[in-house]
Structure 1
Amino acid sequence: MLVAAAVCPCPPLLVPDVAAGAAPELDAARTACSDALAVLAAARPDRLFVVGPAEGDTMERYAAGAVGDFRGFGVDLGVRLGHGGAARAEDRRLPASLAVGAWLLARVDWAGAPVEGLAVGVRLSPARCADAGRDLAAHADRVALLVMGDGSACRSLKAPGYLDDRAAGFDEAAARALGTADTAALAALDEHLAYELKAAGRAPWQVLAAAAEGAGLEGRLLHEDAPYGVGYFVAAWS
């Protein structure tokens, strides 16, 4: 059963080594992420799953100890997903979203429940997201989720997806749903609109919505901003 969740944005720029001189611009988001992770720790879960977006319409599981890095962003910095066995050369490396999640956990010295990862494709259907969420929630008596994902990337002329007039409304609805733990509203987010707006958080948020069904969790929106024309939200459910 899901007992807590933290929702965080997943840009590699959240990692100061990647952001370099621009690092202070996301200090407030980093602080909010740490606050959300404190809610997870306080819930004392038996299992923690980090859920984040990846390419395509598939799902991939990552065991505790899976490794990733930020070399693709010009930084020789490696991360490990929780505490697990030694990674093998042939093991799949964490996608960027889960690597950011692993970095956030390391930043707060996560020493709680074992950690596993689930990457969900940005084109994954809402039905498959729902199935995944229910499956995660059934893994233990006390399950927590760290849900990585960004809002639209079309909030300004310089945004990755350029300016789209629909983006602000989409992000407003998403922020409201995340801040109130409104699972129905998250489940109802339009997958096609989300893809057009480059909102990578849609699929992970819908995994969360299904995992939280019947859990009676309450939500708090800890941070909301759109630097670089991308919607970033931090929320805590408990």
Structure 2
Amino acid sequence: MISRLVVVPHPPLLVPELVAGAVSETEPVRSACLAAARELAAHASDWVAVGVDPSGPRVVEDVAGTFRGFGADVPVSLSDDASSVDDDLPLSVLVAAWLRERAGARSVRVHLVPPDLPTAECVALGERLAGSRALLVLGDGSHRHGEQAVGRPDERAEPFDEDVRTALATADTGALRAIDPALAAELGASGRAAWQVAAGVPGAWRCTRSAFLAPFGVGYHLAVWDSAI
């Protein structure tokens, strides 16, 4: 049964080698993600993760890869005993592997879901993952915050991510299930499907750590949930 769940973003800026000119500027997001990952590793050495990618639904495990496609050849592995190499791993998988290595976990198995997966199917996957002990949930918020927005600025981005922040900070699975997939897509919030998988994991939860940061116009959510039972 999952008894600790960690939510983090998965931007390339987490990896210092990919942001040589902005390492200090991106350090708050990096430090927060590593702290959350270490809490997960302290709870369990083997993780299950959920990430979003158009290649889903599929499961990725026991492989090594590299961030070469994102600007620097930084090798990472999903387990201490990776049996193969895939040079075309999705970003969420690479970040899961990067966090695993730096947190000291033994392995992470990543379930990829497509960004348009309906809410009911996201919730159903969360229910099926309940047999694991530790879940890592990877997904970004809206990329339309302010003048630095990746897309054009959108005044709906702030209230959208505030609702997500509140839901994560209060471990409100009902509020996460209520996120509108169409609105999330319009705002570039790629984490919607992964968050709704988390909302499907059975159990009562309490949030022990949460944060929201929005450097460069993108919203990044972090949370640590522990079982309240």
TM-score, structure 2 normalization: 0.92
List per-residue Cα deviations over 1:104-141 (Å, max 9, x = no partner).
Answer: 11112224xx4211111111111111111111113x4x
Corresponding position of 1:126: 119
Which residue identity does 1:179 align to in structure 2? A
Q: 149-158 vs 78-87, which deviates more? A: 78-87
Contact 1:7 1:234 in 2 (8 A): yes
Which residue identity does 2:89 align to in structure 1? L
Match 1:172 to one of 159, 162, 165: 162
The gaps in structure 1 that reach 5 residues or longer are none
Contact 2:167 2:173 in 1 (8 A): yes
CA distance in 2, matches of 1:66, 1:208: 24
CA distance in 2, matches of 1:85, 1:67: 6
The gaps in structure 2 that reach 5 residues or longer are none
Corresponding position of 1:233: 221
Cα distance, 1:67 vs. partner? Answer: 2.3
Corresponding position of 1:4: 4
Q: Is 1:97–2:92 an aligned residue pair? A: yes
Which residue identity does 1:110 align to in structure 2? A
CA distance in 1, matches of 2:50, 2:95: 11
Q: Secondary structure at the match of 1:5?
A: strand
Which residue identity does 2:11 align to in structure 1? P
Corresponding position of 2:179: 189
Where do 4+ consecutive residues of structure 1 move more than 4 Å? none
- Report the RMSD for the aligned CA atoms in angstroms: 1.8
Corresponding position of 1:74: 71
Corresponding position of 1:59: 57
TM-score, structure 1 normalization: 0.88
List per-residue Cα deviations over 1:85-106 (Å, max 9, x = no partner).
Answer: 4205xx6843101201211111
CA distance in 2, matches of 1:68, 1:52: 16
CA distance in 1, matches of 2:109, 2:177: 23
Cα distance, 1:220 vs. partner? Answer: 3.4
CA distance in 1, matches of 2:25, 2:113: 28
CA distance in 1, matches of 2:100, 2:82: 17
Contact 1:52 1:120 in 2 (8 A): yes
CA distance in 1, matches of 2:95, 2:44: 22
Match 2:130 to one of 137, 158, 164: 137
Q: Secondary structure at the match of 1:10?
A: coil
Contact 1:150 1:199 in 2 (8 A): yes
Cα distance, 1:157 vs. partner? Answer: 2.8
How many percent identity over aligned positions? 42
Aligned 1:146-165 pairs, distance under 5 A:
146-165=136-155
CA distance in 2, matches of 1:170, 1:55: 23
Contact 1:6 1:237 in 2 (8 A): yes
CA distance in 2, matches of 1:13, 1:188: 29
